[in-house]
Each structure stands twice: as C-alpha cells, then as structure tokens.
Amino acid sequence: MEFEQIHAKRVLTPVGWLENAIITIKNGKIVKIEQTNKVCSNNIKVLPALIDTHIHGVKGADTMDATHEALNTMSCFLAQHGIGAFLATTVTESHEKIEAALIQVKHSMKQGVAGATLLGSYLEGPFFDAAHRGAHPETLLHAPDRKLIEKWLDIAEGTLKCIALAPEYPEALEIITWLRSINVRVMLGHTNADYQTTKAALLAGANGVVHCYNGMSGLHHRNPGVVGAALTIDNCQTEIIIDGHHVHPAAVDIAYKCCGQNLILISDAMRATGMPSGDYYLGKLKVHVQDNVVRTKDGGLAGSALTIDCAVNNLANYANISFEQAWLHGSSYPAKALGIDHYLGNIAVEKQANLVLLNSNNQLVATIVNGNIVYQSSKDFTDILI
C-alpha cells in the first residue's frame, strides 16, 4: 500500500527529533518534512529503517539455497523486525555453490523481493585463514585469487558489493588495493593477522573488520592483533554481533567508546533465526541451536539467531546510550559504510522512504520500504496516515 503522508508525534532526522511532524512521500521518496500545529493524536515515532549488512539466512532459508524463495523469505522476515534493506551473505562452499548464490542474488534484485530491499551480496569465504576459520570448512579455504574474484564479479554484474578476506596472504594487499579501485568494499575477517599486517591492509584500502572480536587474533597488550587495529585505526568499519553471547557487554562498551560511528551492528544470522531449537546447517556444517544460541558440535559459535532490532536494544543497554543513538548504529551508520547514505539511512528530503513506525514502548508498528507498507502489526492506521 502506498500513501502520501505520515503524521507522527516525533520524527528522527539527522539533526535530532522533530516534534509533531508530517512526512510527505511521493514515488517512494520523501519530498517534504514539516512541523505542524495540527494536533497529533498518536504516540508514533518515525525512524529510518534498519539495514543488515551481514546476514546469511532466517526462518529456514539461506543465501546459499540459491533460490528466489529463500531470499524473499529473508526479505519478508526482516521487514517484520524493522529492517528495510540487507546484503545477502554467502559462506565458504564449493565455487559452484558460491557462484549459484551470487547469480541468484543478481536475479532476485531484478525480480524484486516483497519486504526489505535486497542490496546485493556479501562474499564471506573462502579467502580465510584456518586458524580462525569458525564455521568455515578448512578444506575449502584458500588464498585470495584475483582471476577467481574477477570471474565472480563478472557473474554478479555489479551486485557483489563486499568481499571478506584474511590479509596475511602474500597477494592480499595488492588485491585489496585493486578491489577498492573498482569500488568493491573489502572487510578483513577469519584471520590470524598481527596488528601491523591488519594496519597495512586498512591503509591499503580495506574498509573494516568482520564481526569484531570473533574470528580474528585478539587484543593483547604486547600484541594488539586484529582487534587492536579495529579499535584504534581511524575510519575502520567495525562490525559487531551484539547478542549477549558473541561479545561480552564490557567488550561491546569498549568497542563503542573506541569506534564511535564506525561501529556497525550486524546480525550474522543463519537459517535457524526465528525457528525452534534443533539441528540446522550453515553451509556444510551441522550446528545445534538451543535458546537462540548457534553452536557447532565442538561448542564453538556459528553465526547467530539475532535480529538488528534486538541488537539496538542490547547496544543501548551495554554502552549506556539512548535508544535513538543506538538505532543509528543499525541504520544511518551502516548506510554510510556501504556508501548508500545519499539515498538510504536517514530521514531527509529526497531520501528513499525506508521508515519504521514505533509506538511509545519502541515496539514496531510498521515497516515502510520505498514508500510502501511491507509489514504492519496493526490494521488501524487512521490516526497516522493522512
């Protein structure tokens, strides 16, 4: 359903809250935001829709299924959690299965999905180091290969937006520099690199690190490792999984204090998200989910069952910041990290109308994508839409 105006008690804009405001939308874009003397009878808050830049699957579906149905299932589920856009993320698998996933993302972007916008694909693996492989099968890991990457970029036709790799491989820096020259985002992860190697990779053009603290060399006072680089080097985009299991609350607070706006909330969610406890697969790896915690048979964490709306609440609690400030780490800052903040991530004139409506208890009332309601918790919008 497309509509023209929203009247809300509060609207979160780049300069702060706007009280008693009307947002005018036309052709999926915001064309006007103005305060009004008209009495607002609701307690609705409007915020920019969330963006999940690193997600594998939900609700039994996974990017590696390489089907439109799986990607559409992800899209619709995410909309139910206030997420308006996402990057479909792969895992380490055979080259053929990775290629099938990349091709399907390309096709599904053209076809369109019913909920959150599919922004493209995020290649997580196989260019990792075995020491911090996590759920990635060691036998399928190998050094970054420019010819292979060129092939995958050709297959994706501009839809492969991000490539993760371990920077300690001999040709890694050269490949990072090349990828940045063609505007492909590079993230460092599943790596045993030391501080100096990580710093060199970031200075060569790598954008940031994959799920900070997890899948990398840790922080030691005489060997700062990848974590030390992520927390101290300017403009390092630092992904973090704030589900209460992957990262201790105190470590979250440290990352927030060090990284500021460069701290990016991700879910790293896999197909068990939104599903009952039991056994599931992440790529080739069988995992067990109990109480929303995903573990391998050896007890290691393997993806998550998190959603970004929950991560926002956790960040607010762990870092002792306001809800709206935490929200920006799942909306405005991810948009900036992806280089799409000229049209997504905040509420301003000429931006895409990707919005969420929350009630006074910060519960989701509706998710709006391109000016259309893609999810609503109530059918009664008579006092909101005008």
Active site residues: 268
Is 96 strand, coil or helix? helix
Q: Distance (Å, rounded) from C-alpha 216 to C-alpha 96?
A: 27
* Rounded (5°) CA angle 330-331-336: 110
Spatial separation of the C-alpha atoms in residues 347 and 367, rounded to whole Å? 14
C-alpha dist (Å) from residue 112 to 17, 49, 104? 32, 18, 12
Q: Kindly give the pairing relationship between strand 61-62 and strand 83-89.
A: unpaired
Residue 29, Cβ neighbours under 10 Å: how many?
15
Q: Could you tell me the end-to-end alpha-carbon distance of the chain, in angstroms, rounded to an integer?
A: 13
**At residue 287, what is the residue type?**
V
Structure-token pair, residue 350? 């000429």
**What are the backbone dihedrals phi and psi of residue 293, each rounded to the nearest 5 degrees, phi first?**
-115, 130
Q: Using CA atoms, how far apart are residues 332 and 354, in angstroms rounded to an integer? A: 11
Dihedral sign of CA atoms 304, 309, 315, 317 in order: negative
Closest CA to 200 of 222, 169, 158, 245: 169
Phi/psi of residue 39, nearest 5 degrees: -65, 130
- Residue 297 near residue 284 (C-beta atoms within 8 A): no
Between the alpha carbon of residue 296 and those of residues 57, 91, 135, 201, 301, the distances in Å are 17, 15, 8, 30, 6
How far is Cα 184 from Cα 178, in angstroms, rounded to an integer?
9
Length of the chain: 386
Q: Classify residue 196 by its DSSP letter.
A: H
